[in-house]
Amino acid sequence: MKQSTYPLELLLGMKYYASDADGIGGTLRGEPEDFIVEELPLEKKGGDSGPYLICRLTKTNWELQHAIKEIAKRLGISHRRIGWAGTKDRNAVTRQLISLYHVTPDQISGIRLKDITLEPVGQSNEALSLGDLLGNRFDILIRDCDPAELETRVREISATVSQAVPNYFGLQRFGATRPVTHLVGECILRGDFEKAVITYIGLAFPGEPEYVRSVRTAFSASRDIQAALSGLPPQMSYERSMLHYLYTHPDDYSGALQELPPKLLSMFVSAFQSYIFNSALSRRLDDGHTLTEPVVGDRLIFANGRTDTVTGTNRGAVSLHIGRGRCSIALFMPGKEPVEPRGEGEQATLSLLAEYGITGKDFERASAFVRTKFDGAWRPLALRTAVDSSVTEKNVRLKFSLPPGHYATTVCREFMKGDPVHMV
Protein backbone atom coordinates (compact mmCIF):
# COMPACT_ATOMS: atom_id res chain seq x y z
CA MET A 1 0.00 0.00 0.00
CA LYS A 2 1.38 3.43 -1.01
CA GLN A 3 0.70 6.87 0.42
CA SER A 4 -0.30 9.82 -1.73
CA THR A 5 2.05 12.80 -1.80
CA TYR A 6 -0.43 15.24 -3.36
CA PRO A 7 -1.65 18.04 -1.05
CA LEU A 8 -5.08 18.21 -2.70
CA GLU A 9 -5.74 14.50 -2.09
CA LEU A 10 -4.52 14.77 1.49
CA LEU A 11 -6.79 17.79 1.98
CA LEU A 12 -9.77 15.64 0.96
CA GLY A 13 -8.82 12.64 3.13
CA MET A 14 -7.52 10.49 0.25
CA LYS A 15 -4.21 9.29 1.70
CA TYR A 16 -3.62 5.81 0.28
CA TYR A 17 -3.40 3.63 -2.83
CA ALA A 18 -3.96 -0.12 -2.50
CA SER A 19 -1.41 -1.22 -5.10
CA ASP A 20 2.33 -1.11 -4.46
CA ALA A 21 3.01 -0.93 -8.19
CA ASP A 22 4.25 2.37 -9.61
CA GLY A 23 1.55 4.40 -11.29
CA ILE A 24 1.24 4.65 -15.05
CA GLY A 25 0.90 8.45 -15.00
CA GLY A 26 -0.81 9.91 -18.04
CA THR A 27 -3.66 12.33 -18.54
CA LEU A 28 -7.35 11.66 -18.12
CA ARG A 29 -10.02 13.40 -20.22
CA GLY A 30 -7.71 14.76 -22.91
CA GLU A 31 -10.94 14.89 -24.92
CA PRO A 32 -14.52 14.34 -23.71
CA GLU A 33 -14.66 11.17 -25.83
CA ASP A 34 -11.86 9.72 -23.69
CA PHE A 35 -14.32 9.32 -20.81
CA ILE A 36 -17.57 7.58 -21.76
CA VAL A 37 -20.21 6.83 -19.11
CA GLU A 38 -23.36 4.81 -19.75
CA GLU A 39 -25.94 4.50 -17.02
CA LEU A 40 -27.30 1.03 -16.23
CA PRO A 41 -30.95 1.79 -15.42
CA LEU A 42 -33.42 -0.04 -13.25
CA GLU A 43 -36.01 -1.95 -15.23
CA LYS A 44 -39.36 -0.23 -15.72
CA LYS A 45 -39.35 1.95 -12.60
CA GLY A 46 -42.87 3.28 -12.11
CA GLY A 47 -44.55 1.12 -14.76
CA ASP A 48 -45.24 1.86 -18.41
CA SER A 49 -47.56 4.85 -18.12
CA GLY A 50 -47.96 8.03 -16.13
CA PRO A 51 -47.29 11.76 -16.18
CA TYR A 52 -43.49 11.45 -16.38
CA LEU A 53 -41.80 11.27 -19.77
CA ILE A 54 -38.60 9.22 -19.57
CA CYS A 55 -35.85 10.33 -21.95
CA ARG A 56 -32.33 9.18 -22.65
CA LEU A 57 -30.05 12.20 -22.26
CA THR A 58 -26.72 12.07 -24.10
CA LYS A 59 -24.42 15.02 -23.44
CA THR A 60 -20.84 15.93 -24.21
CA ASN A 61 -18.87 18.30 -21.99
CA TRP A 62 -21.91 19.50 -20.04
CA GLU A 63 -22.24 19.72 -16.27
CA LEU A 64 -25.53 18.00 -15.43
CA GLN A 65 -27.11 20.81 -13.40
CA HIS A 66 -26.44 23.31 -16.19
CA ALA A 67 -27.76 20.91 -18.82
CA ILE A 68 -30.97 20.41 -16.84
CA LYS A 69 -31.45 24.18 -16.44
CA GLU A 70 -30.97 24.74 -20.18
CA ILE A 71 -33.40 21.95 -21.06
CA ALA A 72 -35.96 23.40 -18.64
CA LYS A 73 -35.46 26.87 -20.14
CA ARG A 74 -36.09 25.56 -23.66
CA LEU A 75 -39.25 23.80 -22.46
CA GLY A 76 -40.44 26.79 -20.45
CA ILE A 77 -40.75 24.75 -17.24
CA SER A 78 -39.15 24.75 -13.81
CA HIS A 79 -35.99 22.66 -13.52
CA ARG A 80 -37.64 21.08 -10.47
CA ARG A 81 -39.87 19.11 -12.86
CA ILE A 82 -36.85 17.19 -14.15
CA GLY A 83 -35.41 14.24 -12.24
CA TRP A 84 -32.43 11.96 -12.71
CA ALA A 85 -30.88 8.92 -11.09
CA GLY A 86 -27.19 9.85 -11.07
CA THR A 87 -24.97 12.90 -11.45
CA LYS A 88 -22.53 12.26 -14.29
CA ASP A 89 -19.16 13.79 -15.09
CA ARG A 90 -18.89 17.04 -17.02
CA ASN A 91 -15.81 16.54 -19.20
CA ALA A 92 -17.13 13.32 -20.69
CA VAL A 93 -19.66 11.74 -23.01
CA THR A 94 -22.50 10.54 -20.79
CA ARG A 95 -25.73 8.65 -21.41
CA GLN A 96 -28.44 8.49 -18.77
CA LEU A 97 -32.17 8.62 -18.19
CA ILE A 98 -34.08 11.67 -16.97
CA SER A 99 -37.76 12.11 -16.10
CA LEU A 100 -39.80 15.17 -17.12
CA TYR A 101 -43.14 15.92 -15.49
CA HIS A 102 -46.00 16.63 -17.92
CA VAL A 103 -43.75 17.03 -20.97
CA THR A 104 -44.62 15.46 -24.33
CA PRO A 105 -42.36 13.83 -26.93
CA ASP A 106 -43.34 16.59 -29.36
CA GLN A 107 -41.97 19.20 -26.97
CA ILE A 108 -38.72 17.25 -26.70
CA SER A 109 -38.36 17.10 -30.48
CA GLY A 110 -38.18 20.89 -30.60
CA ILE A 111 -35.15 21.19 -28.30
CA ARG A 112 -31.90 22.18 -30.00
CA LEU A 113 -28.85 22.33 -27.73
CA LYS A 114 -25.24 21.89 -28.83
CA ASP A 115 -23.79 18.53 -27.73
CA ILE A 116 -27.08 17.43 -26.14
CA THR A 117 -29.57 14.91 -27.50
CA LEU A 118 -32.83 13.78 -25.90
CA GLU A 119 -34.59 10.58 -26.93
CA PRO A 120 -38.01 9.71 -25.44
CA VAL A 121 -38.03 6.07 -24.32
CA GLY A 122 -41.25 5.71 -22.29
CA GLN A 123 -43.61 6.97 -19.62
CA SER A 124 -43.69 6.40 -15.87
CA ASN A 125 -45.89 7.19 -12.88
CA GLU A 126 -42.78 8.02 -10.82
CA ALA A 127 -40.04 10.59 -11.16
CA LEU A 128 -36.45 9.43 -11.25
CA SER A 129 -34.58 10.09 -8.02
CA LEU A 130 -30.92 9.90 -7.06
CA GLY A 131 -29.90 6.28 -6.71
CA ASP A 132 -32.54 4.85 -9.08
CA LEU A 133 -29.99 2.95 -11.17
CA LEU A 134 -28.13 -0.34 -11.19
CA GLY A 135 -24.79 1.35 -11.78
CA ASN A 136 -22.63 2.78 -14.55
CA ARG A 137 -20.49 1.32 -17.32
CA PHE A 138 -17.24 3.13 -18.19
CA ASP A 139 -14.97 3.21 -21.24
CA ILE A 140 -11.94 5.35 -20.38
CA LEU A 141 -8.77 6.24 -22.28
CA ILE A 142 -5.71 7.43 -20.33
CA ARG A 143 -3.29 9.14 -22.69
CA ASP A 144 0.49 9.67 -22.63
CA CYS A 145 1.30 7.16 -19.90
CA ASP A 146 4.83 6.32 -18.76
CA PRO A 147 5.83 3.63 -21.31
CA ALA A 148 8.31 1.78 -19.07
CA GLU A 149 6.95 -1.73 -18.45
CA LEU A 150 3.49 -0.28 -19.01
CA GLU A 151 1.69 -3.55 -19.71
CA THR A 152 3.19 -5.15 -16.59
CA ARG A 153 2.07 -2.30 -14.34
CA VAL A 154 -1.40 -2.24 -15.86
CA ARG A 155 -1.72 -5.98 -15.28
CA GLU A 156 -0.55 -5.73 -11.65
CA ILE A 157 -2.86 -2.83 -10.82
CA SER A 158 -5.80 -4.52 -12.55
CA ALA A 159 -5.31 -7.50 -10.24
CA THR A 160 -5.37 -5.21 -7.21
CA VAL A 161 -8.52 -3.40 -8.40
CA SER A 162 -10.25 -6.77 -8.81
CA GLN A 163 -9.61 -7.43 -5.10
CA ALA A 164 -9.97 -4.08 -3.29
CA VAL A 165 -8.97 -0.42 -3.45
CA PRO A 166 -10.00 2.35 -1.03
CA ASN A 167 -13.56 3.37 -1.93
CA TYR A 168 -12.84 7.08 -1.66
CA PHE A 169 -15.25 9.69 -2.90
CA GLY A 170 -13.51 11.18 -5.91
CA LEU A 171 -12.39 14.72 -6.54
CA GLN A 172 -15.52 15.64 -8.51
CA ARG A 173 -17.60 15.12 -5.35
CA PHE A 174 -15.86 18.16 -3.90
CA GLY A 175 -15.44 20.23 -7.06
CA ALA A 176 -12.86 19.45 -9.71
CA THR A 177 -11.46 22.96 -10.14
CA ARG A 178 -12.66 24.38 -6.82
CA PRO A 179 -12.97 21.70 -4.11
CA VAL A 180 -15.24 23.84 -1.90
CA THR A 181 -18.47 21.85 -1.71
CA HIS A 182 -17.58 20.13 1.59
CA LEU A 183 -16.51 23.48 3.07
CA VAL A 184 -19.86 25.03 2.13
CA GLY A 185 -21.59 21.95 3.55
CA GLU A 186 -19.75 22.33 6.85
CA CYS A 187 -20.95 25.96 7.05
CA ILE A 188 -24.55 24.91 6.36
CA LEU A 189 -24.33 22.25 9.07
CA ARG A 190 -23.13 24.91 11.52
CA GLY A 191 -25.96 27.21 10.46
CA ASP A 192 -23.44 29.82 9.31
CA PHE A 193 -25.16 30.75 6.05
CA GLU A 194 -23.14 33.93 5.61
CA LYS A 195 -19.88 32.02 5.63
CA ALA A 196 -21.41 29.41 3.30
CA VAL A 197 -22.25 32.09 0.71
CA ILE A 198 -18.92 33.89 1.06
CA THR A 199 -17.04 30.59 0.74
CA TYR A 200 -18.93 29.55 -2.39
CA ILE A 201 -18.59 32.92 -4.11
CA GLY A 202 -15.35 34.22 -2.66
CA LEU A 203 -12.92 31.34 -2.09
CA ALA A 204 -10.45 31.30 -5.00
CA PHE A 205 -8.41 28.32 -6.20
CA PRO A 206 -5.29 28.13 -8.39
CA GLY A 207 -6.99 26.22 -11.22
CA GLU A 208 -9.26 29.14 -12.10
CA PRO A 209 -8.46 32.00 -14.48
CA GLU A 210 -6.59 34.84 -12.83
CA TYR A 211 -9.39 37.38 -13.39
CA VAL A 212 -11.93 35.07 -11.69
CA ARG A 213 -9.60 34.53 -8.75
CA SER A 214 -9.14 38.28 -8.33
CA VAL A 215 -12.91 38.90 -8.39
CA ARG A 216 -13.51 36.17 -5.80
CA THR A 217 -10.73 37.42 -3.54
CA ALA A 218 -11.94 41.02 -3.77
CA PHE A 219 -15.51 40.03 -2.94
CA SER A 220 -14.40 37.96 0.03
CA ALA A 221 -12.54 40.99 1.40
CA SER A 222 -14.97 43.81 0.51
CA ARG A 223 -18.41 42.15 0.09
CA ASP A 224 -18.91 44.53 -2.86
CA ILE A 225 -21.82 42.87 -4.66
CA GLN A 226 -21.91 45.22 -7.66
CA ALA A 227 -18.19 44.78 -8.32
CA ALA A 228 -18.53 40.99 -8.15
CA LEU A 229 -21.50 41.02 -10.54
CA SER A 230 -19.54 43.17 -12.96
CA GLY A 231 -16.48 40.93 -12.80
CA LEU A 232 -17.92 37.40 -12.84
CA PRO A 233 -18.71 35.99 -16.31
CA PRO A 234 -22.33 35.13 -17.24
CA GLN A 235 -21.67 31.39 -17.23
CA MET A 236 -21.05 31.50 -13.47
CA SER A 237 -24.81 31.50 -13.02
CA TYR A 238 -24.97 30.10 -9.49
CA GLU A 239 -22.68 32.74 -8.03
CA ARG A 240 -24.50 35.45 -9.95
CA SER A 241 -27.92 34.23 -8.78
CA MET A 242 -26.85 34.55 -5.17
CA LEU A 243 -25.30 37.95 -5.77
CA HIS A 244 -28.43 39.26 -7.49
CA TYR A 245 -30.50 38.08 -4.53
CA LEU A 246 -28.16 39.73 -2.02
CA TYR A 247 -28.31 42.97 -3.99
CA THR A 248 -32.08 43.16 -3.49
CA HIS A 249 -32.12 41.41 -0.08
CA PRO A 250 -29.02 42.66 1.79
CA ASP A 251 -27.61 40.27 4.38
CA ASP A 252 -30.23 37.55 3.71
CA TYR A 253 -27.63 34.83 3.23
CA SER A 254 -30.09 32.05 3.95
CA GLY A 255 -32.30 33.30 1.10
CA ALA A 256 -29.28 33.62 -1.18
CA LEU A 257 -28.46 29.94 -0.69
CA GLN A 258 -32.05 29.02 -1.46
CA GLU A 259 -31.56 30.55 -4.92
CA LEU A 260 -29.47 27.48 -5.77
CA PRO A 261 -31.10 24.31 -7.14
CA PRO A 262 -32.20 22.03 -4.26
CA LYS A 263 -30.03 19.16 -5.49
CA LEU A 264 -26.95 21.40 -5.46
CA LEU A 265 -27.75 22.53 -1.92
CA SER A 266 -28.04 18.91 -0.81
CA MET A 267 -24.73 18.10 -2.51
CA PHE A 268 -22.93 20.55 -0.21
CA VAL A 269 -23.94 18.62 2.90
CA SER A 270 -23.37 15.30 1.14
CA ALA A 271 -19.84 16.45 0.28
CA PHE A 272 -19.09 17.05 3.96
CA GLN A 273 -20.37 13.55 4.72
CA SER A 274 -18.07 12.28 1.97
CA TYR A 275 -15.09 14.12 3.41
CA ILE A 276 -15.70 12.54 6.81
CA PHE A 277 -15.95 9.11 5.16
CA ASN A 278 -12.68 9.57 3.26
CA SER A 279 -10.91 10.73 6.40
CA ALA A 280 -12.26 7.89 8.55
CA LEU A 281 -11.20 5.36 5.90
CA SER A 282 -7.68 6.78 5.84
CA ARG A 283 -7.52 6.67 9.65
CA ARG A 284 -8.38 2.99 9.52
CA LEU A 285 -5.51 2.42 7.11
CA ASP A 286 -3.26 4.62 9.29
CA ASP A 287 -3.89 2.09 12.07
CA GLY A 288 -2.52 -0.73 9.93
CA HIS A 289 -5.80 -2.42 9.04
CA THR A 290 -6.46 -3.68 5.52
CA LEU A 291 -9.47 -3.24 3.27
CA THR A 292 -10.50 -6.88 3.41
CA GLU A 293 -9.45 -8.34 6.77
CA PRO A 294 -12.30 -7.85 9.27
CA VAL A 295 -11.73 -6.61 12.79
CA VAL A 296 -14.07 -7.51 15.65
CA GLY A 297 -16.70 -4.77 15.82
CA ASP A 298 -16.56 -3.97 12.10
CA ARG A 299 -19.88 -3.49 10.33
CA LEU A 300 -20.57 -5.48 7.19
CA ILE A 301 -22.80 -4.50 4.28
CA PHE A 302 -24.27 -7.01 1.84
CA ALA A 303 -25.44 -6.46 -1.73
CA ASN A 304 -29.08 -6.21 -0.60
CA GLY A 305 -28.23 -3.49 1.94
CA ARG A 306 -28.39 -5.79 4.97
CA THR A 307 -25.78 -5.08 7.64
CA ASP A 308 -24.15 -7.29 10.25
CA THR A 309 -21.35 -7.05 12.81
CA VAL A 310 -18.06 -8.93 12.97
CA THR A 311 -17.58 -10.96 16.15
CA GLY A 312 -14.83 -13.20 17.43
CA THR A 313 -17.02 -16.17 16.53
CA ASN A 314 -17.91 -15.28 12.93
CA ARG A 315 -14.69 -13.55 11.92
CA GLY A 316 -13.31 -16.52 9.97
CA ALA A 317 -16.54 -17.02 8.02
CA VAL A 318 -16.72 -13.29 7.33
CA SER A 319 -13.24 -13.35 5.78
CA LEU A 320 -14.44 -16.02 3.36
CA HIS A 321 -17.57 -14.02 2.46
CA ILE A 322 -15.52 -10.87 1.83
CA GLY A 323 -13.07 -12.81 -0.36
CA ARG A 324 -15.96 -14.13 -2.45
CA GLY A 325 -17.48 -10.67 -2.85
CA ARG A 326 -20.62 -11.43 -0.85
CA CYS A 327 -20.16 -8.54 1.54
CA SER A 328 -17.79 -5.71 2.40
CA ILE A 329 -16.57 -4.01 5.52
CA ALA A 330 -18.50 -0.75 5.85
CA LEU A 331 -18.03 2.67 7.38
CA PHE A 332 -20.83 4.96 8.45
CA MET A 333 -21.74 8.08 6.51
CA PRO A 334 -22.81 10.39 9.36
CA GLY A 335 -26.28 11.94 9.56
CA LYS A 336 -28.98 12.88 12.04
CA GLU A 337 -29.56 9.30 13.22
CA PRO A 338 -27.36 8.31 16.20
CA VAL A 339 -24.87 5.48 15.77
CA GLU A 340 -23.64 3.17 18.49
CA PRO A 341 -19.82 2.97 18.19
CA ARG A 342 -19.38 -0.80 18.13
CA GLY A 343 -16.07 -0.80 16.28
CA GLU A 344 -13.08 1.29 15.34
CA GLY A 345 -14.76 2.55 12.17
CA GLU A 346 -17.63 4.24 13.99
CA GLN A 347 -15.23 5.54 16.61
CA ALA A 348 -13.10 7.18 13.90
CA THR A 349 -16.17 8.80 12.33
CA LEU A 350 -17.50 10.08 15.65
CA SER A 351 -14.06 11.36 16.60
CA LEU A 352 -13.85 13.36 13.37
CA LEU A 353 -17.32 14.82 13.90
CA ALA A 354 -16.33 15.81 17.44
CA GLU A 355 -13.23 17.58 16.08
CA TYR A 356 -15.48 19.64 13.80
CA GLY A 357 -18.13 20.13 16.48
CA ILE A 358 -20.84 18.65 14.25
CA THR A 359 -23.71 16.68 15.84
CA GLY A 360 -26.80 14.83 14.73
CA LYS A 361 -28.87 17.92 15.52
CA ASP A 362 -26.81 19.87 12.98
CA PHE A 363 -27.71 17.31 10.31
CA GLU A 364 -31.36 17.52 11.40
CA ARG A 365 -31.34 21.31 11.04
CA ALA A 366 -29.60 21.06 7.65
CA SER A 367 -32.20 18.52 6.52
CA ALA A 368 -34.97 21.04 7.19
CA PHE A 369 -33.07 23.85 5.42
CA VAL A 370 -32.09 21.81 2.35
CA ARG A 371 -35.29 19.70 2.36
CA THR A 372 -33.27 16.50 2.00
CA LYS A 373 -32.96 13.63 4.44
CA PHE A 374 -29.51 13.17 5.92
CA ASP A 375 -30.19 10.10 8.02
CA GLY A 376 -26.78 8.57 7.49
CA ALA A 377 -25.90 5.35 5.67
CA TRP A 378 -23.40 2.53 5.51
CA ARG A 379 -20.90 2.53 2.63
CA PRO A 380 -18.38 -0.17 1.66
CA LEU A 381 -14.85 0.92 2.46
CA ALA A 382 -13.47 -1.08 -0.48
CA LEU A 383 -14.20 -0.87 -4.19
CA ARG A 384 -13.62 -3.88 -6.43
CA THR A 385 -14.32 -4.48 -10.09
CA ALA A 386 -13.03 -6.52 -13.02
CA VAL A 387 -11.14 -4.28 -15.44
CA ASP A 388 -10.82 -5.04 -19.14
CA SER A 389 -7.60 -3.22 -20.10
CA SER A 390 -5.65 -2.72 -23.31
CA VAL A 391 -2.38 -0.91 -24.02
CA THR A 392 -1.61 0.84 -27.31
CA GLU A 393 1.81 2.52 -27.33
CA LYS A 394 1.53 5.10 -24.50
CA ASN A 395 -2.26 4.95 -24.14
CA VAL A 396 -4.25 2.69 -21.82
CA ARG A 397 -7.96 1.91 -22.22
CA LEU A 398 -9.96 0.70 -19.23
CA LYS A 399 -13.45 -0.77 -19.35
CA PHE A 400 -15.37 -1.63 -16.18
CA SER A 401 -18.69 -1.24 -14.36
CA LEU A 402 -19.41 0.16 -10.90
CA PRO A 403 -22.43 0.22 -8.56
CA PRO A 404 -24.18 3.54 -7.83
CA GLY A 405 -22.20 6.03 -5.78
CA HIS A 406 -18.80 4.57 -6.70
CA TYR A 407 -16.31 6.69 -8.62
CA ALA A 408 -14.55 5.74 -11.84
CA THR A 409 -11.88 8.30 -11.01
CA THR A 410 -11.11 6.25 -7.89
CA VAL A 411 -10.24 3.34 -10.19
CA CYS A 412 -8.25 5.62 -12.54
CA ARG A 413 -6.46 7.15 -9.56
CA GLU A 414 -5.22 3.71 -8.54
CA PHE A 415 -3.77 3.16 -12.03
CA MET A 416 -2.32 6.64 -12.55
CA LYS A 417 -1.09 7.57 -9.07
CA GLY A 418 -0.62 11.05 -10.50
CA ASP A 419 -1.45 14.64 -9.71
CA PRO A 420 -5.25 14.87 -9.35
CA VAL A 421 -5.31 17.89 -11.67
CA HIS A 422 -4.65 15.43 -14.52
CA MET A 423 -7.87 13.57 -13.71
CA VAL A 424 -10.35 16.40 -14.23
Active site residue ranges: 89
Question: CA-CA distance, 219 to 229, in Å (whole number)?
Answer: 10
CB 65 within 8 A of CB 19: no
Please say whether the dihedral angle defined by the alpha carbons of residues 416, 418, 422 and 424, taken in this order, is positive or negative.
Answer: positive
82: closest CA among 128, 125, 126?
Answer: 128
Distance of CA 16 to the CA centre of its chain: 18
Q: For residues 68 and 90, is the Cβ–Cβ distance under 8 A?
A: no
Burial (CB < 10 A; 0-12, 13-18, 19+), residue 363, is buried
The count of other CB atoms within 10 Å of the CB of residue 143 is: 16
Rounded to 5 degrees, what are φ and ψ at 229? -65, -35
Q: Are the CB atoms for 346 and 340 separated by under 8 Å?
A: yes
* Distance separating alpha carbons of residues 323 and 376, to the nearest angstrom: 27
CA–CA dist 225, 242 (Å, integer): 10
- Mutual angle of helices 181-190 and 193-202, in 10-degree steps: 170
**Whole-number Å distance between alpha carbons of 413 and 12:** 14
Which string of DSSP letters, residue by residue, matches 9-62? Answer: HHHTT--EES--SPP---EE-SSGGGEEEEEEEPSSTT-S-SSEEEEEEEEES-
Residue 350 near residue 332, CB atoms below 8 Å? no
Q: Is the dihedral of CA 98, 103, 109, 111 positive or negative?
A: negative
Candidates 374, 381, 416; CA nearest to 283 is 381
